[in-house]
Chains A and B, each alone.
Chain A
Amino acid sequence: QKEVEQDPGPLSVPEGAIVSLNCTYSNSAFQYFMWYRQYSRKGPELLMYTYSSGNKEDGRFTAQVDKSSKYISLFIRDSQPSDSATYLCAMGNTGFQKLVFGTGTRLLVSP
């Protein structure tokens, strides 16, 4: 079993839809959770960073962490074609040096 599981997609939605992206993990020591957006042939860009459980909102993006279920989510409201990219979840434990990444979910938002 992988430490972090993420559906590779692709996930296709129409413009304006609410998008839900998810990751599950097995290591209960993970405390730090991140979401990255990666456009084709570019480096990942940090979107959201959360510590422990709870929600965090930034504009159209909301990150949720449920440590009891070992489940994290990224919600995108009013999705735009420019949101079309691969979204990677990443996580680390206290004092972490290395991040563990999901495989990424490819999102396609059609006009």
Chain B
Amino acid sequence: GAVVSQHPSRVICKSGTSVKIECRSLDFQATTMFWYRQFPKQSLMLMATSNEGSKATYEQGVEKDKFLINHASLTLSTLTVTSAHPEDSSFYICSARVRNDYGYTFGSGTRLTVV
């Protein structure tokens, strides 16, 4: 089945630094990937839709300059949290849509802690 690999699984960074999270589709080409944020005991909040070779589409209220998304190939999308602050601490999850398959596959998530 389709596998999405997300790294790192956990990262702790200092306030003001940037953190990059990678999401790779291992056995399929993902023309579209999605980035979500999840707070404890809450559902998934879509942050942005990443399309290969074009600019990401951000949801309302998500700062595009703070959450940089790059989808340079059909198998890799990255989310960079720039100038991180403690309020950016959260669980970030990517998902990918397999072409002609309406099931979405999720990565294992990245727990970001900004201290």
Contact = CB atoms under 8 A, between A and B. Distances in A.
Interface of A: 8, 32, 34, 36, 41-46, 49, 51, 88, 90, 92, 96-99, 101-104, 106
Interface majority SS (helix, strand, loop, mixed), chain B: strand
Contact of A103 (B42, B104, B105): B42
B69 interface: no
B106 A44 contact: yes
Nearest to B94: A43
A90 B49 CA distance: 17
A49 B108 contact: no
B7 interface: no
Given A42-B108, A106-B41, 17 more contacts: A34-B103, A36-B106, A41-B91, A43-B4, A43-B106, A43-B108, A43-B109, A44-B93, A49-B103, A88-B44, A92-B102, A97-B32, A98-B34, A99-B46, A101-B44, A103-B43, A104-B43
B104 A34 contact: yes
Contact of A88 (B41, B43, B105): B43
Contacts of B41: 8, 106
